[in-house]
Chain A
Amino acid sequence: MDDKEIVELLYNKDEKGVKAARDKFSGLISRICNGILRSAQDAEECANDTLLKLWEAIPPERPENLTGYICKVARRLTLNRLRYNTSAMRNSDLLTELDECLPDAYSVEEHAEQSELSDTINEWLRGLPEKQRRLFTLRYFYMTSVKEAAHDCKMSKTAATTALMRLRESLKKFLSERGMFYD
């Protein structure tokens, strides 16, 4: 069943839509949840919550890209769980990497609303070659390890690490040019 059909079923509150979504996306959702939480039990709960959220959100929402929509929902719910589970996340290597681009939330409040920042990041991402865009998204949106992201992008780990460093520098420059970050 293609994504549009699933969306239509969900939009018409047909429970077959949930089943179809589960059949088609359960693996993807699990991948996201497990990638972030690393806890099978929590991940499973988040995966179930994702499908529930899908059911609740459609309608009124009618996503054009169901895969992307589900990914975002899964990530959002999983991060909420992560926030709940731990207070040490801020010190993780992954997130401190991004501190190079923008040090803290306070800076954002000074210069931009989060939505504006999202738009800017999207703009920056769209301007990247696909491979680099995938690498950045896998690493910082899906929180996959560098090794996994590199493999997915058909790069060596070393090349991916270097590319990510350059991407962060590029993002920092991009944000600086738009007044969202000052050294």
Chain B
Amino acid sequence: MTEFNPIFEALDGLDENIAAEAVRPAKKKMKKPLKIAIIAVAATLALGMSAVAATSGSNPIIKINKRQISGDYEEYVNSEGYTVKTVAAVIPQSDMPTYRPIGKIRAEYVDGSFYFYDELGVKINDIAEDTAFYGTSSKDNKVLDSHAKGYESPDYLEGIMTVAADYSYVEYTEWVNLIKYAEYKSNTAKWNRLSLQEKIDFYNMELEAAGVNYYNDYGGISHPTTKEQLALNGIGHFSAGDNQITGPDGVFYDPFNAYSFENTPTEIFKLFGFDPLAVEEMSENKCRCFAMLYYDQELKEFTQGIYQYTLTDDETGAPIEFTAWHYADKRECHTDHFDFDYEYVTLDSGAEARLHRSVNGSYIAEFEKDGAAYAFTTDLDRGNVIRILNNLT
């Protein structure tokens, strides 16, 4: 019998609370946004362009290949309270093969980290390793240098995450990533202009930001997070074999396939004090769903998944959106979507809406229409809607 290191052996007597703590998700503390005005920023790419954005007052100057581009920028306060400046920068298609030429880069500096998005809101992730970002905070006039912040990865997202992790900003970074993704997807027209590959790339970012890659890497289950696998299995089809991912608590979750995307109100992120850990999507016929799992920091467990559904009113053809909270038993919440069945529910208005639900999932679904909130459960007979709550919030 092999003798192990005594410390390794002694860890057999590890405090159970410590053992349990390690397999739970790390506490995620949402950092309050610093009200730092956004700096002027430029990006360079692998072909040797060097970009320097220097601010002089409120007017950013961008230099690319020693060619100065200035002006043409916008400034606004985004939904998180940050001042955002967009600056013109020309980035050839050849440098960013997965994205179309970029007319503008929207740059944000948030709490020590840089965020860059193209004009469509796609995060730019192909920034070259030697790229430097400079700018001046309008708050304290301090010159910010991305290199000085340890920004060193050629992969933009990874770099951001690394920087964020090193500076304990990861929680907020993840959150921002998800928010931005949601905002981007909220514009279906823009989304539809993307190629499949672009969608896959984008979805990969989200998966990384949500930590899905990692949590899906246990139990012998492969996770098709490479582009090829995703392409093979469909966007958002996280796992190749049994269509499951493993949550950080070790519980298996069954994500939905997602072949297209639908409206995703940013507000859904802000409704609760929970942190989104995973984002899943599905779309099928008239019913489209955006879902997130939420982890309760106090209870230290997943407490609910929030599903934003878009149904179709069969009478008027108008979309009907509602949000469903899937409580408690995640295994039931995330039953294999192939077992889903359609159910018709009748709204108080008399309109009949088609509900996409699990045949063996016992969840409570709630939706809001005309200012009133409704709740119903799947164990009710077809067509029955019970008005339980008048004000969910």
Residues of A in contact with B (beta carbons under 8 Å apart): 23-31, 34-35, 40, 43, 63-65, 67-69, 71-72, 75-76, 79, 82-84, 86-90, 95-96, 98-99, 101-102, 104-105, 107-108, 114-115, 117-119, 121-122, 125-126, 130-131, 133-134, 137-138, 140-142, 148, 151-156, 159, 171
Contacts and interface: CB of A to CB of B under 8 A. Distances in A.
B363 to A, nearest CB: 16
A90 to B, nearest CB: 6
Contacts of A117: 6-7, 10, 13
B250 A105 contact: no
Interface pairs A-B: 7 shortest CB-CB: A28-B250, A68-B16, A118-B13, A68-B20, A137-B22, A27-B250, A67-B20
Chain A interface, >50% SS class? helix
A126 B5 CA distance: 21
A133 B219 contact: no
Interface stretch (B210-218, B226-234, B370-378): B210-218
Nearest to A41: B220
Contact of A142 (B9, B17, B23): B23
A32 to B, nearest CB: 8
Interface in B1-17: 1-17
Interface stretch (B64-72, B106-114, B162-170): B162-170
B218 A89 contact: no
Name which of B12, B22, B217, B218 has the most chain A CB atoms within 10 A of its CB: B22
Contacts of B217: 148
A27 B252 contact: yes
Given A114-B13, A151-B211, A105 B6 contact: yes
A68 B17 contact: yes
A27 B218 contact: yes
Given A114-B9, A117-B10, A171-B7, A153 B26 contact: yes
A71 to B, nearest CB: 4
Contact of A118 (B11, B20, B331): B11
A114 B5 CA distance: 11
B250 A118 contact: no
A95 B166 CA distance: 27
Contacts of A43: 220
Interface string B10-42: 111111111111111011000000000000000
Given A28-B249, A30-B218, A107 B6 contact: yes
Contacts of B386: none
Interface of B: 1-24, 26-27, 161-162, 165-166, 170-171, 211, 214, 217-220, 246-252, 331
B18 A140 contact: no
B2 A31 contact: no
B220 A30 contact: yes
Given A68-B18, A121-B13, A122-B14, 8 more contacts: A26-B250, A65-B16, A72-B12, A83-B2, A90-B5, A101-B7, A105-B6, A126-B15
Contact of B17 (A65, A141, A159): A65
A141 to B, nearest CB: 5
28 contacts: A26-B252, A27-B218, A27-B246, A27-B250, A30-B218, A63-B16, A64-B16, A68-B16, A68-B21, A72-B12, A90-B5, A98-B5, A104-B6, A114-B9, A114-B10, A117-B6, A118-B12, A121-B11, A130-B21, A133-B18, A133-B22, A137-B19, A137-B22, A138-B22, A140-B11, A151-B214, A152-B248, A155-B166
Contacts of B247: 27
Given A72-B12, A114-B13, A154-B26, A99 B5 contact: yes
Given A27-B250, A122-B13, A152-B214, A102 B6 contact: yes
Nearest to B166: A159
